[in-house]
Amino acid sequence: MSKENSYSVIGKPRRRVDGADKVTGQTCFADDIMLPRMLHCKLLRSHVPHALIRSIDTRKAERHPGVKLVLTGRDFPNEYGILPVSQDEQPLCREKVRFVGDPVAAVIARDEFVAEEALELIRVEYEPLDTISDPVEALKQEPARLHDYSEEGNIHKRLSYEFGDVEESLANSAHVFEDIFFFEGNTHLPLEQHAAVGVPEAEGRVTLWSSTQCPHYVHRAVAKALDLPMAHVRVIATPNGGGFGGKTDPFNHEIVVARAALMLGRPIKICLNREEVFYCHRGRHPVLMKFRTGVDVNGALTAMHLQTLLDGGAYGSYGVASAFYTAVLQPVTYHLPRYAFDACRVFTNKPPCGPKRGHGTVQPRFGQEVQLDKIADRLKIDPAELRLNMVEKPGALTANYLKIGSIGLAECINRVTERSGWKDKYRKLPSGRGVGLACSSYLTGAGNSIYWNAMPHSGVQLKLDRSGRVTVFCGATEIGQGSDDVLVATVAEILGIDPLDIRCVTGDTDLTPVDLGSYSSRVTLMMGNAAIQAAERARDLIAQAAAQKFGADAEVIEFAGGRVFNTGRPEQEMPFQEAVVCAEEIYGSLGTTGSYTPAPPPGKYKGGGVGPSPAYSYTAAVVEVEIDTASGWITVPRVYIAHDLGRTMNPVLARGQVEGSVYMGLGEALMEESAFRRLPARLSGALVHREPSMLEYKSPTSTDMPEVITDLIEYPDDNGPFGAKEAGQGPLLPVIPALANAVYDAVGVRIDEVPITAEKILQALDSKARGGSGRVGPAKFPELEWPEPYRVPPPWEGGDGNAVNKPQRKRAAKMHDMDRFRKVTAS
């Protein structure tokens, strides 16, 4: 259990440092930036799903009164993309469009209205290509290929790994369960629509303000796409009006306004409308999955073979990482002696998928936890017992070489089962009412950066002076999760001062040390550790100075309550500010830095870089449902959730993260869906997002949200600042399978597909009434040719983290040679 909390700031409920700004309308989001002489930009987006661009005629638009500039793909020299292995995006499409919404031209004008009028005047001639709407079509032998660099046809990437002889274990298992699940795609839907402002600076430099979660990655992309030295580009992340992973990629509109600002010498703003936000997407991949799982007579796992098929949409985005994440975290929750996985991501003519809260792990977690429920049901074991019996041990190294620290999962399970009255409810409620349980784990920060380098993942700088004010600089980005608050609280704790005496400057690539960004739940841990280091260094300097003044040893100097004192002689004390003056007198201007680099992962095999994390969080949830059997109508009255976050930094914010995750999980479980539509083929080649609007993309309202009973469980992790792990993503994961399991408990049908809607429940009830399976879900997983797996023996089978074979990999076609292309178009 958690140690007694002896901190003065950490763990105390406190108004977040940016709270007052948020409630007064003072927080300046990207679209709130209004600058003198500012112009406005709108993008012309493709209305065809897949086509070659024959020609673009912008002459009429250029002549339209109020228009200052029209840009097309020719104005941009280079490709970009978030991962080094998939630099496949262009700021404006040059030769090809790949989905409805892909941008082909930009108009910069006096105001948005004029820019919009001018868009209508641009003529684009397209030569349509065949379209790919789903993985089955993508896997067909000769489809129109979206990208030349894909592994084969429209297969973007295939992965294959084996940690021990899974087939042997399955053959020797008491039971083997085989299940297929489907998880429909969905999107982040941040309330704030993406916006960016490009501002020209002297000598050909440019500043870009943007609602981005990752200013550092945007910095790299803008410099690359525009052929600018990174030193000439400054990216400032504005506070995000919600991100959830939807603002972690560099985006075409950001690069376009940076370019336009440089060309026109005036500030340029773009704010996307809601439909365009749906086209930015990078949301949850639709994933088809097949689990073959062996268990012993007690239901404990013996081996698992997981196969996943991801519908990636039109571009790479984080896709290769997403594919890994659909598999790598399975062994982190329960002890799994042997494990194998295959993952395949394909390209389709739809907006690109990417990282959404729980990146890639949400879909297989749904499958695994529902399958465990089926196993428990068949073996007549209580699902809570089944799980408690095989919770992974703290400090364990998993079959795939992930190093786990603290694990509070057993307590999480116990807490939610107690709170919910599980023992009196499971299989005991009247028909139509049910409870379901599920668990999960999640990363606290990816162990590796998205591009290979040996530099820190987070840097923090501290400036102190005679005013007593401390300013802390960090590249991290406030997206609502409270990263500014964690930063300030950490420094305040160590220096023993009031958080309100600290100013933080974040997310500015000119002013702040690099932090990789607000994704993969990395900020609290990585930035927190860097902040601790910077603050401890400052504290040491001040302690030295104070010690001199007191004529004491630096070791006896303590910091608390805004004062610095000698623990041995309490009468020797002074205000923090005076102590800083002493330090400034001795050392001159004061500044310290801190940084954090995760330890290298134990898995040394190729691909072993995705999955390692300094710490893993754990969650358990019980969901209650009520179902009207005549219509399938489903209601969720209550959700019980317990989350092991290591250490609570600020309970108000932590609970907000957990409840927000429950909310988003319920939305995905019940109603959210990024569905696409084709029209009758003989009449139309259209392939469109079915409902790119706030009204038809169903996000639960205040009336749809159940009561949530939250428990924060603290199992401090040695790697976390003060022991803290993440809280912003993990709690989403168990909600979805727990709901599916509750449906089974209530009415005895299995919905092996997300979202779980009234229609599907009714269909399953019908099937059951007719003596059928009482199941709705995918029937089969397509036959796929997998590459030879990397064989890595698990640690307990003599493995050392290396693969014992050298599988041949087909070399991916070389990425489009951009410079060559530029020369061709320019000539």
Interaction with ligand FES in 234-263: which residues (CB under 6 A)?
242
- As a dihedral over the C-alpha atoms of residue 388, residue 392, residue 395, residue 398, rounded to 10 degrees, the angle is 180
> Total binding residues for ligand FES by CB under 6 A?
3
Tokens 């295959």 belong to residue:
342
What secondary structure letter does DSSP report for 601?
P
Report residue 121 as tokens: 């005047």
CA distance 87 to 84: 6
Within 10 Å of residue 763's Cβ, how many Cβ atoms? 18
- 231: CB partners within 8 A, 6+ apart: none
| Contacting another protein within 492-521 (CB under 8 A) | none
From candidates 83, 379, 556, 694, binder to another protein by CB under 8 A:
694
Choose between 174 and 191: whose C-beta lies nearer to ligand FES: 191
Least distance CB 480 / ligand FES (angstroms): 5
- Window contacting another protein (CB under 8 A); options: 55-63, 157-165, 235-243, 282-290: 235-243
| Contacting another protein within 77-136 (CB under 8 A) | 100, 112-113, 116
- Window contacting another protein (CB under 8 A); options: 331-339, 465-473, 596-604, 672-680: 672-680
Q: Which does 593 bind (CB under 5 to 8 A by kind): another protein, ligand FES, none?
A: none
CA distance 343 to 285: 13
Choose between 179 and 711: whose C-beta lies nearer to another protein: 711
When asked if residue 479 is in the footprint of another protein (CB under 8 A), the reply is yes
| Contacting another protein within 456-475 (CB under 8 A) | none
Choose between 17 and 170: whose C-beta lies nearer to ligand FES: 17
Cβ proximity of 135 and 346 under 8 Å:
yes
Q: Which does 804 bind (CB under 5 to 8 A by kind): another protein, ligand FES, none?
A: none
When asked if residue 20 is in the footprint of ligand FES (CB under 6 A), the reply is no
Least distance CB 539 / another protein (angstroms): 26
| Contacting another protein within 40-69 (CB under 8 A) | 45, 47-49
Cβ proximity of 608 and 497 under 8 Å:
no
> Total binding residues for another protein by CB under 8 A?
103
Query: Could you give the angle at the alpha carbon of 435 between the alpha carbons of 173 and 404, nearest 5°?
Result: 55
Least distance CB 20 / another protein (angstroms): 5
Choose between 532 and 708: whose C-beta lies nearer to another protein: 708
Strand, helix or coil at 236? strand
CA distance 138 to 346: 6
| Contacting another protein within 608-637 (CB under 8 A) | 626, 628, 630-633, 635
Going by DSSP bridges, is the β-strand pair 634-635/616-627 parallel, antiparallel, or unpaired?
antiparallel
| Contacting another protein within 759-788 (CB under 8 A) | 759, 762
Least distance CB 763 / another protein (angstroms): 8
Choose between 156 and 188: whose C-beta lies nearer to another protein: 188
Alpha-carbon separation of residue 689 from 369, 549, 677 (angstroms): 30, 69, 6
Choose between 17 and 514: whose C-beta lies nearer to ligand FES: 17
Choose between 22 and 423: whose C-beta lies nearer to ligand FES: 22
Q: Which does 710 bind (CB under 5 to 8 A by kind): another protein, ligand FES, none?
A: another protein
Choose between 354 and 480: whose C-beta lies nearer to ligand FES: 480
Q: Which does 660 bind (CB under 5 to 8 A by kind): ligand FES, another protein, none?
A: another protein
Least distance CB 190 / ligand FES (angstroms): 7
As beta bridge partners, residue 552 has none
Can you point out the beta strands (E) in 280-391?
A: 287-295, 301-311, 338-346
Least distance CB 784 / another protein (angstroms): 31
Produce one character per residue of 501-524: b if its CB has 16 or more CB atoms within 10 Å, e if not: bbebbbbbbeebbbbbbbbbbbbb
Report residue 779 as tokens: 């029937």
What secondary structure letter does DSSP report for 561?
T
Query: Could you give the angle at the alpha carbon of 569 between the alpha carbons of 564 and 570, nearest 5°?
Result: 50
Alpha-carbon separation of residue 44 from 18, 89, 210, 758 (angstroms): 37, 16, 20, 39
Whether a cis peptide bond, with omega within 30° of 0, leads into 215 is no
Tokens 């007064």 belong to residue:
24
CA distance 312 to 340: 22
Tell me phi and psi for residue 7, to 5 degrees.
Answer: -85, 160
Query: Could you give the angle at the alpha carbon of 270 between the alpha carbons of 194 and 38, nearest 5°?
Result: 140
Choose between 242 and 591: whose C-beta lies nearer to ligand FES: 242
Least distance CB 91 / another protein (angstroms): 19
Choose between 437 and 732: whose C-beta lies nearer to another protein: 732
Least distance CB 475 / another protein (angstroms): 19
Least distance CB 88 / another protein (angstroms): 22
From candidates 148, 168, 696, 797, binder to another protein by CB under 8 A:
696
Least distance CB 692 / ligand FES (angstroms): 14
Q: Which does 784 bind (CB under 5 to 8 A by kind): another protein, ligand FES, none?
A: none
From candidates 692, 720, 793, 799, binder to another protein by CB under 8 A:
692
| Contacting ligand FES within 473-492 (CB under 6 A) | 480
Among 623, 663, 708, 706, smallest CA distance to 433 is for 623
When asked if residue 651 is in the footprint of another protein (CB under 8 A), the reply is yes
CA distance 121 to 110: 16
Choose between 298 and 631: whose C-beta lies nearer to another protein: 631
CA distance 199 to 214: 19
Choose between 543 and 654: whose C-beta lies nearer to ligand FES: 654
Report residue 589 as tokens: 């201007």
578: burial class by Cβ within 10 Å (0-12, 13-18, 19+)? middle
From candidates 136, 171, 191, 769, binder to ligand FES by CB under 6 A:
191
CA distance 664 to 535: 35
| Contacting ligand FES within 360-399 (CB under 6 A) | none
Among 600, 617, 642, smallest CA distance to 438 is for 642
Least distance CB 333 / another protein (angstroms): 22
Choose between 329 and 713: whose C-beta lies nearer to another protein: 713
DSSP element (H, E) containing 596: strand 590-596
| Contacting another protein within 143-202 (CB under 8 A) | 188-193
**Which residue minimizes CB distance to ligand FES?**
191
DSSP element (H, E) containing 534: helix 528-550
CA distance 305 to 169: 10
Site string for another protein, 699-718 (x = CB under 8 A): xxxxxxx-xx-x-xxx----
| Contacting another protein within 539-578 (CB under 8 A) | none
Going by DSSP bridges, is the β-strand pair 51-57/96-97 parallel, antiparallel, or unpaired?
antiparallel
Least distance CB 16 / another protein (angstroms): 7
526: burial class by Cβ within 10 Å (0-12, 13-18, 19+)? buried
| Contacting another protein within 1-40 (CB under 8 A) | 2, 5, 11-16, 18-29, 31-32, 34
Choose between 456 and 482: whose C-beta lies nearer to another protein: 482
Q: Which residues bind ligand FES (CB under 6 A)?
A: 191, 242, 480
